[in-house]
A and B are shown apart, each in its own frame.
Chain A
């Protein structure tokens, strides 16, 4: 009996179908069977019209992409899909795919069609999908292009609800932003004396210029030319004071971090504006070895400035007892990563401290909070970077951080 090849093939097929149906129902993911036969016809038409670059065509014609969704029919779903997308009635879900696909996810649908057309076995991406009641949620969307299924115009897709994970990630980012801001404010607190010095310079110049102006006016023959020159200087000094305050406000302010292409060299140069007086007050010599022509990096300007200022302030504090203290900042390109070295010629980092440097609340300073370095690391990691502590050639501390080059 079992030797009949036709019968055993049929049995194997039934077995396979049974396993497939069980998996379809039993898995914790939402599974959908789609009929995309009309999409095949649309694509053949497109090719006949001479369109060779589908990707470019889809990008320029969102209505065509919506059209493909509108002719893609849901022919079967599992119970998980009813629970996730529906309102209890499975048949209600069996309609065209565009119902579940918000405009913002057009690109994901287009990419999955391109993957299928180019013969890839599967496609997966995170995107927004829509439930029957209209709620839009974060989903992990997967599509499987099994050859036998594709041949008959069938497609199996899976959807996993990742909204909780996405929400948790957003909350984590929020907490990191709050911590970074708190650390920035505390860092500015350590620079108060230098900031006061910096703001006082233009204020002193303004007061002095104004007094001199009055004196020229009070002469028996007022000297208008002198007064005009002094008044122009007053305007320039007021602008300078305003610039300093704008810089401090940007550093102290609470803003949602924004990853934009940045020149690391200019971030360092701006950070050094904060430190000029601090370095001078501690007689620290500054050596900048900034490699020209580096690729840009992606990051938030204020947050990356914060990292540089934080490392430099640590270096200045570490060199309090060092004769001829020198802060060196070096930029370079290594393995397609922009590398920044902030080093000093202070006492260096002891082996026992090195392992714990980036731990929260670890500090060797009497008034330190121990949050500076962990926050530097978390900022850098947000932008795909990393940071390590080494010993400088002079035996001091050398902090080396890297960020991927932006292309």
Chain B
């Protein structure tokens, strides 16, 4: 069940998104990549995803705004947030919005894997 889980990955950086999709697939999960939150919301992926990995800073909806939107829509898929920015208070705001994990780029793959395992154990 966990082994066929669909993980959605949202990041506006093409090469990092491709890398994350590749990593998730190497773990044996299925992966879907989206360049922004709007594209993701336009599909039924939010209902199908066992977990969501999203960048925080993106053109349009930010990762934090996406999580707030998902909560409002009643979607309870766990959200892992990643960011390249280290400004003060960002991590706190991400957790306050309901993020399961917040990872700062560049992060060790093990850290993301651990987050994914926690997300899928929920």
Chain A interfacial positions (CB closer than 8 Å to B): 193, 196-198, 200-213, 215-216, 226, 229-230, 233, 236-237, 240, 277, 280-281
Contact = CB atoms under 8 A, between A and B. Distances in A.
Contact of A208 (B23, B57, B86, B87): B23
14 contacts: A197-B57, A203-B105, A204-B107, A205-B15, A205-B19, A207-B106, A207-B109, A211-B26, A211-B110, A212-B26, A215-B26, A215-B27, A229-B22, A237-B19
Nearest to B105: A204
Give the interface residue-count category, chain B. 20 to 34
Contacts of A216: 26
Interface in B19-43: 19-20, 22-23, 25-27
Contacts of B72: none
Given A197-B85, A215-B27, A280-B59, A207 B108 contact: yes
A208 B84 contact: no
Given A201-B13, A281-B57, A196 B18 contact: no
Give chain A's interface secondary structure class. helix
Given A215-B27, A233-B18, A208 B109 contact: yes
Contacts of B107: 204, 207
A277 to B, nearest CB: 8
A211 B110 CA distance: 8
Given A200-B84, A208-B109, A215-B23, 7 more contacts: A196-B86, A204-B106, A205-B15, A208-B16, A226-B22, A233-B15, A233-B18
B26 A240 contact: no
B87 A193 contact: yes
Contacts of B109: 207-208, 210-212
Contacts of B57: 197, 277, 280-281
Nearest to A211: B109
A164 to B, nearest CB: 53
A208 B27 contact: no
Nearest to A217: B26
Contact of B16 (A204, A210, A213, A281): A204
Contacts of B112: 208
